[in-house]
Structure 1
């Protein structure tokens, strides 16, 4: 039975967002719709925590995107960006209080963010790390299209 706690510790280190979501009782890693949609033609309501976290993610990716596109980000800069982005996603997961239907839509965006972060951290060996920064920017732009966030402007993507 001693191996079960060790296994759980290994899993929690390998999948910090999954563990965090499970601990908070707010599971963004669970079954999510595969396609995001509007709320009867309108944007979904957001809350202050979601707006704060997504604003920080948008700022971080907006700063990193030009350097990533030009091939100027170092492995250390990618690692710091990944940590900073993961911190913001964790904040959102811990603190957002959305209507269950809006939350289900947010799952799609959280999944897209996680995939982008994995790529920029080098966890997808077949993909360029810069592509992960673009994936995060695209997820941020999707958020702005589907969630009500006053004054939101999309991240300008490279051509």
Structure 2
């Protein structure tokens, strides 16, 4: 991702509802895609920074999701989950260098993750916290379906 997006992410993190717009704001005058697509039938390329951050996100979701699904995750655990995912997204924004078309596709995933983080942190109501973790898991799984990440393991979703 490009450096101007760092400022957009900082704004998005300070204004939770702006997170969804942050992914679309880096469009260079083109409408941002609203649907994930493959690259002419193939997965998009990745770089080391993206793979590292997404692996960390995958591990965090895999650890938190069972507790969230069973109703045993505490508010502190949800908050820590949200902060951890946000830190990884910040790392992606600051360090990931993808081709523009792949970058646009990644914006969709980042927006979905940020929406999930907002819910997990209780900003959409306490009862939505578990669904926020699920939303991050769904976005991570979409990443795995659309981006070339050797060894990526799909996160098993409840029901």
Using the size of structure 2 for normalisation, the TM-score is 0.82
1:125, distance to aligned residue in structure 2 (A): 2.2
1:33, distance to aligned residue in structure 2 (A): 1.2
CA contact (8 A) 1:113 1:136 kept: yes
The aligned length equals: 141
2:106 matched residue in structure 1: 106
CA contact (8 A) 1:28 1:93 kept: no
1:145 matched residue in structure 2: 145
Q: Structure 2 CA distance, aligned partners of 1:63 and 1:48?
A: 23
2:53 matched residue in structure 1: 53
Which runs of no fewer than 5 residues in structure 1 stay unpaired?
1-10, 20-26
2:82 matched residue in structure 1: 82
Instruction: Encode CA deviations 1:50-92: one digit per residue, 9 max, x unaligned.
Output: 0000000000000000000000011111111111110001000
Greater C-alpha Rg: 1
CA contact (8 A) 1:65 1:133 kept: yes
1:13, distance to aligned residue in structure 2 (A): 6.7
- The DSSP-based 3-state class of the residue aligned with 1:151 is coil
Using the size of structure 1 for normalisation, the TM-score is 0.82
Q: Structure 2 CA distance, aligned partners of 1:122 and 1:115?
A: 11
Q: Structure 1 CA distance, aligned partners of 2:52 and 2:105?
A: 18
CA contact (8 A) 1:115 1:132 kept: yes
2:96 matched residue in structure 1: 96
1:39 matched residue in structure 2: 39
Instruction: Encode CA deviations 1:69-127: one digit per residue, 9 max, x unaligned.
Output: 00001111111111111000100011000000000000000000000000000111285
Instruction: Please tell me whether residue 119 in structure 1 is matched to residue 126 in structure 2.
Output: no
**RMSD across aligned positions (CA):** 2.0
Which runs of no fewer than 5 residues in structure 2 stay unpaired?
1-10
Over 2 Å off, 4+ runs: 11-16
Structure 2 counterparts to residues 5-44 of structure 1, below 5 A: 14-15=14-15, 28-30=23-25, 31=27, 32-44=32-44
